[in-house]
Amino acid sequence: MAGLAEAASPFGGAPAYLEGLNDEQRAAVLATEGPVLVLAGAGTGKTRALTTRLAHLLFTGKAQPYQLLAVTFTNKAAREMKERIGAIIGERVEGLQWLGTFHSIGAQILRRHAEIVGLKSPFTILDADDQARLAKQVIEAAGLDEKRWSGRGLAYAIDAWKNRGLTPDKVPANEGWKFADGKAISLYRDYQERLRTLNAADFGDLLIHNLTIFGTHPDILAQYQDRFRYMLVDEYQDTNVAQYLWLRLLAQKRRNICCVGDDDQSIYGWRGAEVENILRFEKDFPGAKVIRLERNYRSTPSILAAASGLIAANKSRLCKTLWTDQEGGELVKVRGVWDGEEEARLIGEDIESEQAKGRSLSDMAVLVRASFQMRAFEERFNTLGLSYRVVGGPRFYEREEVRDAVAYLRLVRSSDDDLAFDRIANKPARKLGGQTMQTINALARRRGASMMAASRALLESEELGAAAKGALRKFVEMVDRWTRESEHLGPRDLTELVLEESGYTDYWRNNKSAKADSKLDNLKEVVQAVSEFETLAAYLDHVALVADRNEADEAGAVWLMTLHAAKGLEFPVVFLPGWEEGVFPSQRSLDEGGAAALEEERRLAYVGITRARESCRISFAANRQMYGRWQTALASRFVDELPERDVEVVSRPGLYGKSAAGFPSHSRFDAARVDDDAYYDNPGWKRARAAAGRASPSPPMIEGSAREVSVGAGAAKFAIGARVFHQKFGYGRVVAAEGQKVTVHFDHSGDKKVVDSFLASA
């Protein structure tokens, strides 16, 4: 390769760090100049190529550590990258000060130029919860009905605009109707005004303010453009418009930008990610080199083939074909089951049998579309005594008690932090009820002062009653005392003092609920976390930006998580339950996002399958209890999209009638489509199921009953010859019906087989 000479070490030959890379990975490392798009399929050694690339830039002296900009989405990814580069280059890795998440780098830049956008450094960084509270205040202040218009709703709308890089003056006027009858834009403006008063920035601002600074101060932009000789972006398919604009500005001058991503794994569209960014990279950066990493080191041929076959149904993608030189391995297993309970039971059995064969529990994962699906598995695992761990859920720093503790510390750092003041002034109760707080708030607004300042003023006036005044005085003096103490106490001692003196720890000690113990533990964790920092300010900065969970590694437990949470992970054995229409693809997603959303759901399925190294087991249930009622379900269309030759159907004989022996003509899983609601949604059926559940792990009763139910068409909702209407195909006449699948001769679209729930009588 021509590039090799360029990368040669002073001692001749290719440097050691290039060894073991395949040609494409090597190309991704060596193509240092100009725009490069690396399309890295799942399991193709992306991180390795990426970290080697950075190491290479440093080794060859093309850049100093501080001249490299490397952006990721999550702290975890940033940490991992840093570790792996460190393994190659050693201590120099510490100089990579511009390796981090979009937000932490945005914050770093903003801190240096905060005054341009009307902030003083250090400013407070608000998280989602603070945002919603602030938004709520804005709604109240505007005199709107807060019941009708939630703070969260406004925060969501504002976030969506910020994702698109829109400041209030740039929001298209017609979008004001998205919220509060046309007042949305002025509320957005109010919200930004409040942020400025609070000397705070929300997550979106960290980038938006950067854009403003770059836009209004070309000299500053030029300074960063010069500094960042080489730019690297991970998970490019997840970037939103604001991030895209930010990158484009910074890359404009040197054009040494390398974006790495996989359009097939773009699953955050609902959060503002634009797959478009990756799809049009070559247009944005003419002359871009595109390198495809397609050799997969993770999965068996069948797993890859199944995933590839599925994703091929998507239209908007930059086609990649994963391949492997691995051979053999089991087929992807697809199993139809009677209901969700049975699904959980069978997966539990599978896990136990894998375990019996000597596989560790932590080699197995159950990946679901939505967290409500987890309950069935948790219950089953508890019954079996299988240890499992749920990934996701409320993060450490999102927990009530942790946020409260942090609010106390924030108030000590800056007594003007109104959000913190508001949060803990009366927690634990100090007789500062709603009335008093409103008085404080009102005065603060009138004077454009902080709540703490307003409180001091109120103590000098006659506006409050004696009791309230006394309570307020105690609180103010307490905070003042902590602030004085903070000058000579270390962060740890200070935190302990504040939590004790405030009565906050006692507040939970006196709480008899089951939660109290873990809350107290979490408070101890906060103290522990604080002790690792030199100053309180350093800790608070960390909290805002690097607020991830301390995931204690618990060996020997099955993983249970959402598909979203599983991105980037891999497991020898993966279970993918709940592949039913309405669940996966999610009905809500389809309703709200149409065809584009369906493609995103399909990518999610692709992500799920490609997590598996050796064994991938998909399942779907004919019946599922949702929101307390039984519902029949159709096998997901994704099941039908799996290539037949890579799939093995493992439904038990009898349970699915004709599908047991093979694939019925029109759909392989049609027999799972049970339609006679009345038959199983009655007490007798439920009793039978309950009895079966108690009796033995393999319940003959379910099998017996199911055989009777599942065979035959049952009562179709539409008679042959009936006139019907379909959203997409229009009017037509029913020509055949089997189960929930109805064949309709549409007036303008010809014959189609559709699911009856999409039809209305016409």
Catalytic residues: 46-47, 234-235, 265, 611
Cβ distance 155 to 128 under 8 Å? yes
Could you tell me the smallest distance in angstroms from the CB atom of residue 208 to DNA?
A: 12
Q: Which is nearer to DNA, 314 or 625 (CB)?
A: 625
How are beta strands 750-755 and 741-746 bridged, if at all?
A: antiparallel
Assess whether the previous peptide bond of 700 is cis (omega < 30° from 0): no
Taking Cα atoms as reference points, which of 434, 376, 400, 332 lies closest to residue 646?
332
Residue 147, interface with DNA (CB under 7 A)?
yes
Closest CA to 405 of 523, 543, 521: 523
Instruction: Report the nearest approach of DNA to the CB of residue 369 (Å).
Output: 7
Applying CB under 7 A, among 586, 636, 710, 740 the residue interacting with DNA is: 586
Which residue in 448, 628, 683, 721 binds DNA (CB under 7 A)?
Answer: 628
Cα 253 from Cα 668, distance rounded (Å) = 56
Tokens for 313, please give them. 């149904």
Q: Which of residues 189-218 bind DNA (CB under 7 A)?
A: 203
Q: In angstroms, what is the minimal distance from the CB of 492 to DNA?
A: 25
Which residue from 170, 217, 280, 395 is in contact with DNA, where contact means CB under 7 A? Answer: 395
Binding flag, residue 371, DNA (CB under 7 A): yes
Residue numbers 263-302 binding DNA by CB under 7 A: 270-271
162 contributes a contact to DNA by CB under 7 A:
no
CB neighbour class for 284 (10 Å; exposed up to 12, middle 13-18, buried from 19): middle
Cβ closest to DNA, residue 28 vs residue 132 = 132
Q: If you search the block for the tokens 């005004």, which residue do you land on?
A: 193
Which one of residues 168, 503, 593, 712 is an interface residue with DNA (CB under 7 A)? 593
Q: Among residues 601 and 646, whose Cβ is nearest to DNA? A: 601
CB of 78 to DNA, least distance (A): 8
Closest to DNA by CB, 561 or 742:
561
548/708 with CB nearer DNA? 548
Q: Which pair of structure tokens corresponds to residue 66?
A: 């501080």
127 counts as binding DNA under rule CB under 7 A: yes
Q: Nearest-CA neighbor of 79 among 550, 570, 644, 610? A: 550
DSSP class of residue 634?
Answer: P
Closest CA to 56 of 25, 97, 98: 25
The footprint of DNA on residues 329-368 (CB under 7 A) is: none
Query: Does 562 engage in binding with DNA (CB under 7 A)?
Result: yes
Grouping H, G, I as helix, E, B as strand and the rest as coil, residue 21 is coil
**Which of the ranges 100-108, 115-123, 358-366, 677-685 carries the binding residues for DNA, by CB under 7 A?**
100-108
Those residues with Cβ within 8 angstroms of residue 51's Cβ, 6 or more apart along the chain or in another chain:
81, 84, 85, 88
Binding span for DNA by CB under 7 A among 191-199, 298-306, 455-463, 584-592: 584-592
Told to check if 73 binds DNA by CB under 7 A, we report yes
Strand partners, 575: 366, 617
By the rule CB under 7 A, 474 interacts with DNA: no
Name the residue nearer to DNA (CB basis): 341 or 601.
Answer: 601
d(CA 553, CA 206): 32
> Exposed e or buried b for every residue in 100-129, given b needs 16+ CB within 10 A?
bbbbbbbbebbeebbeebebeeebbbbbeb
x-or-dash string of contact with DNA, 530-549, rule CB under 7 A: ---------------x-xx-
Residue number, 177 or 372, with CB nearest to DNA: 372
Binding residue (CB under 7 A) for DNA from 302, 589, 667, 710: 589
The 3-state DSSP composition of the chain as helix, strand, coil percent (nearest 5) reads 55, 15, 30
Tell the smallest beta-carbon distance from residue 222 to DNA (Å): 26
Query: Contacting DNA (CB under 7 A), which of 554, 592, 644, 747?
Result: 592
Which is closer to DNA, CB of 429 or CB of 595?
Answer: 429
Task: Copy the structure tokens of residue 565.
Answer: 């949470």
Binding mask 170-189 for DNA (x = CB under 7 A): --------------------
| Contact between 597 and DNA per CB under 7 A | yes
Q: Which stretch binds DNA (CB under 7 A): 73-81, 87-95, 115-123, 486-494?
A: 73-81
Residue 484 engages DNA in binding (rule: CB under 7 A)? no
Which residue number, 75 or 387, has a Cβ lying nearer to DNA? 75
**Nearer residue to DNA within complex by CB, 235 or 738:** 235
Stretch touching DNA by CB under 7 A, among 299-307, 440-448, 593-601, 702-710? 593-601
* CB closer to DNA out of 524 and 588: 588
* Angle between helical axes of 536-545 and 102-113 (0-180°, round to 10): 130
Residue 76 contacts DNA per CB under 7 A: yes
Stretch that binds DNA, among 1-9, 301-309, 627-635, 746-754 (CB under 7 A): 627-635
- Rounding to the nearest 10 degrees, give the CA dihedral for residues 215, 219, 221, 223: -170
Quickly count helices (H) and strands (E) in the chain: 31, 21
**Binding residues for DNA, total number by CB under 7 A:** 42
Residues 377 and 551 sit within 8 Å (Cβ to Cβ): no
Type and span of the H or E element at 649: strand 647-649
The region of 165-173, 581-589, 649-657, 722-730 touching DNA under the rule CB under 7 A is 581-589
Per-position DSSP letters for 537-598, written without gaps between them: HHHHHHHHHS--------SS-EEEEEHHHHTT--EEEEEE---BTBTTTBHHHHHHHHHHHH
**Least distance from DNA to the Cβ atom of residue 402, Å:** 13
Q: Specify the stretch interacting with DNA by CB under 7 A; choose among 305-313, 498-506, 592-600, 725-733.
A: 592-600
User: Could you say which of 95, 122, 168, 392 contacts DNA (CB under 7 A)?
Assistant: 392
Site for DNA in 230-249 (CB under 7 A): none
* Residues 6+ positions from 559 with CB-CB distance below 8 Å: 362, 364, 365, 366, 388, 389, 391, 571
- CB atoms closer than 10 angstroms to residue 751: 12
Over the window 655 to 684, marking each residue x when it contacts DNA by CB under 7 A and - when it does not, the resulting string is ------------------------------
Binding of residue 636 to DNA (CB under 7 A): no
Q: Which is nearer to DNA, 112 or 447 (CB)?
A: 112
Establish if 112 lies at the interface with DNA (CB under 7 A). Answer: no
Vertex 544: Cα angle to 74 and 418 (nearest 5): 150
The minimum distance between CB 671 and DNA, in angstroms, equals 28
- Is residue 624 classed as helix, strand or coil in its secondary structure? strand
Task: List, as one string, the DSSP characters of 358-422.
Answer: T--GGGEEEEESSGGGHHHHHHHHHHHT--EEE--SS-GGGSHHHHHHHHHHHHHH-TT-HHHHH
Between residue 399 and residue 458, which ones bind DNA under the rule CB under 7 A?
A: 426, 429, 431-433
Three state DSSP letters for 23-38: HHHHHHHHCCCCCEEE
Question: What letter would DSSP give residue 295?
Answer: B
DSSP summary character for residue 111: H
Give the helix/strand (H/E) hosting 247.
helix 241-251
Span of 22-30, 342-350, 355-363, 623-631 interacting with DNA by CB under 7 A? 623-631
For DNA, which is the closer residue by CB, 231 or 432? 432
Residue numbers of the site for DNA (CB under 7 A)?
A: 73-76, 101, 103-104, 127-128, 147, 203, 270-271, 369-372, 392, 395, 426, 429, 431-433, 545, 547-548, 561-562, 564-565, 586, 588-589, 592-593, 597, 601, 625, 627-629
